[in-house]
Structure 1
Amino acid sequence: MAWSSISEVFTSHGPTVIMPTWFCSREWFFHVGRFDEGGKGVPEDLLFFYEHLQKGGGVFRVNQCLLLYRYHPQAATHSVLEETIWNHRVRFLEDRVLSSWTSFTIWNAGKQGKKLYRSLSPANQKKVTAFCDVDEKKIRKGFYTYEESEERPKPKIPVCHFRDATPPFVICVKLDLTGGAFETNLGMLNLKEGMDYYHFN
């Protein structure tokens, strides 16, 4: 892989890859399995990209403009719902990372962290040992109750300070939004990206 990190594929914008078939061979295209022609609303390029990675494909960065993409309101991309993309991203994270972890911590006890937790399969929800955060109010409360759960009693997941949390982490904090505070906090833990944590922001 030649982008900054393989884990970028789990983030909301991922690496800057446009239509992965522009620069792959016909043989590789057929090997990956062509596009999902499920119709309007199917993110066929994302699904092809994930399958490309699953089959051992890579990505190489080119520091020049190779394609001029023209935006227009009738583009098919507008038919793909944000929730559809989210669900595919979560399934890819579960298949590629969480399937090999026995437990993990979600870094962010706020909206995005809770949304990720609720989107996980029941088996992966049970692997979540805690949420961690820096927000004293969330930490003081001490736990997150999954109210929508049909389980009785409803699952209660502890919330702790990031320094008290146990890796590995799935990080649901956007980069470059805290004036470097989050990056400093993460750096002080001396963790290895792709082993101890993945970004899913």
Structure 2
Amino acid sequence: MSIDVSVILPVHNAEQWLDECLQSIYNQDYSGAFEVSIYNDHSTDSSSFLIEEWSKRYEKKGITVVVSGSTARGPHGVGFARNCAIRQSSGKFLCFLDADDVMSNERIGKQHAAALQHRDALIGSQFTRIPHDSMERFTKWANSLSREQLLTQIYTSHGPTVIMPTWFCSREVFDRVGKFDETGKGTPEDLIFFYEHMKCGGDVVRVDLPLLMYRYHPHCETFSVHEDTIWDLRIQRLQDSVLTRWTSFTIWSAGKQGRHFYRSLHSENQEKVTAFCDVDVKKITKGCYTYEDSKQRPKPKVPIVHFSKAKPPLIICVKQDLTGGSFEQNLASLGLTEGTDYFHFG
């Protein structure tokens, strides 16, 4: 029997969450054929025992289970584990899941239907959080992005516009990128893969149902990634895909984030910056920003203007949803089009 969907599950010392995770796979109401592909990445807790016990339950229900793992030289990292689970799987579509998260009963069915309609896309979904009050701003942002913003807000500090544990795609979509980065702990393999997918012309789609409970806890892999690593990836992707097409642009924010953004640019893109814009009277009155660390002589001086006088296109280095709506109102007053006249970077 051919397998429609492979659930890709990397596991490392997940004993406290694994029962709930595996139960959610067992409870799927999908009527097609699916398998569970598990790579146990050097777990030293009871994860191996739980996997073995659940495999027996899956087999009794007619669900194929493929399990492999490594006990040598410690864990290899989530990117390596996902790649191994994918290589040993056989489904036409891949459903990604982390061992500390929980799927709704309808997840595979809903995302499989969406993937059939969008063969070239990474399919995500809305999600809820555990605990329910964790990372409220991030959750609100990710769940409320429009179809267009899934493609335009990929440079923000939040990371991929559809979160990794909700990803679902055809095997062809995965194979086009090739694999997840296997550098290991501290590497944002999901963001790297996401950007490569976009570079290959891939689409991003979200099923607007909460198909995953996304767990927040102190041991999340996210906390092992330094923010400077994320910053550098975002800067590089923005320069390669957007700034190379622009002859000039304005940076919205003459504060710390805007200045950091400017200093992070390649010199040829720094020269394209015609102005900073802001609402802070003190910054505007100052007149300009001088790049003191520049090796150029004379040192570059960039004008600072009121946002209402900003000339598009703009890169916005202001964080969203933190000013009681005033920033959003100011932006809306300019009548600009996101993805053409401006991109969010904050």
Contact 1:168/1:195 (8 A) holds in 2 = yes
Q: Which moved more, 1:82-91 or 1:67-76?
A: 67-76
- The letter for the 1-side match of 2:319 is K
Contact 1:20/1:49 (8 A) holds in 2 = no
Q: Which moved more, 1:3-12 or 1:150-159?
A: 3-12
> What is the Cα deviation at residue 109 of structure 1?
0.5
Question: SS of the counterpart of 2:304?
Answer: strand
CA RMSD of aligned residues (A): 1.9
Q: Partner residue of 1:73?
A: 218
**Identity fraction in percent:** 64
- Equivalent residue for 2:343, pick from 164, 180, 198: 198
- Could you say which structure has the larger radius of gyration? 2
> What is the Cα deviation at residue 124 of structure 1?
0.7
> What is the Cα deviation at residue 11 of structure 1?
1.2
Question: SS of the counterpart of 1:77?
Answer: helix
Structure 2 residue 185 is matched with structure 1 residue 40:
yes
Supply the distance in 1 between the matched residues of 2:291 and 2:163 (Cα, whole angstroms): 37
> What is the Cα deviation at residue 75 of structure 1?
3.6
Structure 2 residue 137 is matched with structure 1 residue 3:
no
Contact 2:274/2:302 (8 A) holds in 1 = yes
Give TM-score scaled by structure 2 length. Answer: 0.55
Bigger RCO of structures 1 and 2 (CA < 8 A, at least 6 apart): 1
Change (3 A) 1:137 1:43: same
- Equivalent residue for 2:269, pick from 97, 106, 124: 124
Question: SS of the counterpart of 1:66?
Answer: strand
Please list every run of 5 or more consecutive structure 2 residues that lacks an aligned counterpart in the other structure. Answer: 1-120, 122-145
> Which runs of structure 2 are paired with 1:1-201 in the superposition (5 Å)?
3-5=147-149, 6-14=151-159, 16-19=161-164, 22-201=167-346
Question: SS of the counterpart of 2:240?
Answer: helix
Supply the distance in 2 between the matched residues of 1:76 and 1:175 (Cα, whole angstroms): 25
Runs of 4+ deviating beyond 6 Å: none
CA deviation profile, 1:79-127 (whole Å, cap 9, x unmatched): 2101100110111111111010011000111111111101111111111
Supply the distance in 2 between the matched residues of 1:41 and 1:97 (Cα, whole angstroms): 27
> What is the Cα deviation at residue 67 of structure 1?
2.6
Contact 2:154/2:161 (8 A) holds in 1 = no
Supply the distance in 2 between the matched residues of 1:133 and 1:8 (Cα, whole angstroms): 21
Q: Which moved more, 1:169-178 or 1:120-129?
A: 169-178
Change (3 A) 1:70 1:189: closer
Contact 1:10/1:89 (8 A) holds in 2 = yes
Change (3 A) 1:185 1:71: closer
Supply the distance in 1 between the matched residues of 2:328 and 2:233 (Cα, whole angstroms): 27
Question: SS of the counterpart of 2:323?
Answer: coil
> What is the Cα deviation at residue 16 of structure 1?
4.3
CA deviation profile, 1:125-182 (whole Å, cap 9, x unmatched): 1111110111111111100011121222211111111122211100111222223222
> What is the Cα deviation at residue 17 of structure 1?
1.6
| Aligned length in residues | 201
User: Relative to total residues, which structure has the larger strand share, 1 or 2?
Assistant: 2
Supply the distance in 2 between the matched residues of 1:133 and 1:12 (Cα, whole angstroms): 20
Supply the distance in 1 between the matched residues of 2:279 and 2:210 (Cα, whole angstroms): 40
